[in-house]
Amino acid sequence: MIELRRSPRITVTWRAGVKLPDGKLVLAKLVNISAEGVLIHTTENLIPQRSYPMLIEIPGIFQESQIYKVSCKGTVRHAILSGEVYHVGIQLSEMSQLHTELVTAWISKTAHLS
């Protein structure tokens, strides 16, 4: 299969939180990540084209028990209900350079293992 995406993505099982406008924190599971975005699974329907503050837990590249709590903003590109879970594609922004480099390192490390 030919990959048509601009950025390579890797499969992960990381945790995230999405803050709704009313202040409620929605927990989510990251399914995959790229330099530009993530796919999450959540029980809450997130509104396409809306931006939400997010927190993503990313393991350290050398010591996976070290967890980085990465704050960023996520803009919903699509949300599809499958069973009881929404599959939500999110474009990331406002992530620090250090955390962007951590994501890039994970993508590079995983690509070399494939």
Q: For 98-111, what is the mean pLDDT?
A: 91
Q: Tens digits of per-residue pLDDT, 58-81?
A: 999 999 999 999 999 999 999 999
> Is the sign of the CA dihedral 42, 43, 49, 51 positive or negative?
negative
Residue 110, pLDDT score: 83
CA–CA gap between residue 24 and residue 5 (Å, rounded): 32
Fold of 9-113: Thrombin, subunit H (2.40.10)
Exposure of 73 by Cβ count < 10 A (0-12 exposed, 13-18 middle, 19+ buried)? Answer: middle
How many CA within 13 A on the CB side of residue 90? 34
Ranges of each domain in the chain: 9-113
The stretches of 2-113 forming alpha helices (DSSP H) are 97-113
**pTM of this structure:** 0.89
